[in-house]
């Protein structure tokens, strides 16, 4: 029994989600191999070989794999699938784009967003926006899994010394072409990797206030900034900051929710945070039911006070 993890990377560095996925793969019970499919991604393959617990890295390098096009990457994975009992992708936009193609071509049912490996064929996954946990047993010969990274600790990035085997990259499928990419640049930590997140809701009232209140606090705490969907829909914050069921799933050490009511769709994205602090002027706000520390107050006053103390 051997599991194949599809590495998440940008051809230069290995993304943290890969480490959590390796932990999930190890829990399936056999050896863990990692596929690094990219272009000029030698450094990524090297980094993958150093992950503790990885027995082998397969490095496929070529122009067809430069931009993570789902058709080409799925073909690369399918070429290797015969050797593996489990194929695991991080449950990121990239992983979720490729895994269903692999599962469909293998004619197996994908098990999505697993948060626990019970045994080699049985997995837990949240349903109903995280309000219930389903235990799913797969009877398929090969398991194609996407892994909710917040459900698994990151495997140590160093300590391993796996062999790197090179494979030819698949030919370009010709079905899709990479047109362009707009990457938002920020000095802040990335939302899904941040240890501290300061998040703002509808109560902020405008994009100017959102910036004015959250930025200094996030700067002081070295935090990433998040937002509720209401704040995003109202244009106070960009879409990629949204936390929740239809946004990003996060589990930082500290999550500070400012003027966020705590709708189930928001909680679905952050309730696994280690410590939750909520400031809300409504004592009945549902966010207080998950908060470790709740402050019933006007956020504009209390954030200013917090900044003075910090």
Ligand X SMILES: Cc1cc2nc3c(=O)[nH]c(=O)nc-3n(C[C@H](O)[C@H](O)[C@H](O)COP(=O)(O)OP(=O)(O)OC[C@H]3O[C@@H](n4cnc5c(N)ncnc54)[C@H](O)[C@@H]3O)c2cc1C
- In the bound complex, what is the minimum distance in angstroms from residue 127's beta carbon to ligand X? 14
Nearest CA among 232, 197, 88, 226 for reference residue 151:
88
**Binding of residue 300 to ligand X (CB under 6 A):** yes
**Binding of residue 130 to ligand X (CB under 6 A):** no
C-alpha distances out from residue 111 to 136, 203, 254, Å? 8, 38, 30
Q: Under DSSP, is residue 276 helix (H, G, I), strand (E, B) or coil?
A: strand
User: Can you tell me which residue has the tokens 């940008």?
Assistant: 10
User: How far apart (Å, rounded) are the C-alpha atoms in residues 32 and 17?
Assistant: 15
* Candidate residues 40, 246, 253, 289; the one interacting with ligand X per rule CB under 6 A: 246
Q: By CB under 6 A, which span of 22-30, 82-90, 181-189, 226-234 interacts with ligand X?
A: 226-234
**Binding of residue 94 to ligand X (CB under 6 A):** no
- In the bound complex, what is the minimum distance in angstroms from residue 149's beta carbon to ligand X? 17
**Binding of residue 242 to ligand X (CB under 6 A):** yes
Number of residues that bind ligand X (CB under 6 A): 28
- In the bound complex, what is the minimum distance in angstroms from residue 242's beta carbon to ligand X? 6
Closer CB to ligand X, residue 153 or residue 282? 282
Alpha helix locations (H) across 107-235?
A: 207-221, 229-233
User: How far apart (Å, rounded) are the C-alpha atoms in residues 70 and 258?
Assistant: 38
- In the bound complex, what is the minimum distance in angstroms from residue 86's beta carbon to ligand X? 29
Nearest CA among 45, 47, 92 for reference residue 70:
92
Q: Under DSSP, is residue 283 helix (H, G, I), strand (E, B) or coil?
A: coil
**Binding of residue 260 to ligand X (CB under 6 A):** yes
Q: Is the dihedral of CA 20, 89, 248, 219 positive or negative?
A: positive
Residue whose C-beta lies closest to ligand X: 244
**Binding of residue 198 to ligand X (CB under 6 A):** no
**Binding of residue 228 to ligand X (CB under 6 A):** yes
User: How far apart (Å, rounded) are the C-alpha atoms in residues 89 and 1?
Assistant: 17
- Under the phi-then-psi rule, with left for phi > 0, alpha for psi from -120 to 50, and beta for the rest, what region is 194? beta
- In the bound complex, what is the minimum distance in angstroms from residue 103's beta carbon to ligand X? 24
Closer CB to ligand X, residue 50 or residue 302? 302
Contact positions toward ligand X, by CB under 6 A? 201-203, 228-231, 242-247, 259-261, 263, 265-266, 269, 279-282, 285, 298-300
């Amino acid at each position: 029994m051997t599991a194949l993890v599809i590495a998440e990377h940008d051809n230069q560095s290995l993304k943290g989600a890969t480490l959590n996925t390796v932990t999930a793969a190890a829990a399936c019970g056999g050896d863990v191999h990692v596929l690094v499919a990219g272009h000029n991604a030698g450094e990524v393959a090297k980094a993958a070989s150093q992950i503790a617990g990885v027995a082998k890295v397969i490095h496929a390098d070529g122009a067809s794999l430069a931009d993570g096009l789902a058709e080409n990457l799925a073909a690369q994975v399918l070429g290797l699938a015969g050797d593996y009992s489990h194929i695991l992708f991080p449950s990121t936009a990239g992983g979720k784009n490729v895994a269903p193609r692999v599962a469909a071509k293998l004619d197996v049912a994908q098990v999505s967003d697993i948060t626990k490996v019970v045994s080699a064929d049985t997995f837990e996954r949240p349903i109903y926006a995280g309000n219930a946990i389903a235990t799913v047993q797969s009877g398929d010969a090969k398991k194609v899994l996407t892994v909710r990274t917040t459900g698994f600790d990151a495997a140590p990035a160093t300590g391993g010394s796996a062999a790197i085997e090179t494979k030819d990259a698949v030919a370009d499928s010709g079905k899709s072409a990479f047109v362009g990419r707009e990457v938002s640049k920020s000095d802040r930590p990335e939302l899904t990797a941040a240890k501290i997140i300061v998040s703002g809701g509808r109560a902020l009232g405008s994009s100017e206030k959102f910036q004015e209140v959250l930025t200094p606090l996030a700067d002081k705490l070295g935090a990433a900034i998040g937002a509720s969907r209401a704040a995003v829909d109202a244009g106070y914050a960009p879409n990629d900051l949204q936390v929740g069921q239809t946004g990003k799933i996060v589990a930082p050490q500290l999550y500070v929710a400012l003027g966020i009511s705590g709708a189930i769709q928001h909680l679905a994205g952050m309730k696994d945070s280690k410590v939750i602090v909520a400031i809300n002027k409504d004592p009945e706000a549902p966010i207080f039911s998950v908060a470790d520390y709740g402050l019933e107050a006007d956020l504009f006053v209390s954030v200013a006070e917090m900044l003075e103390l910090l």
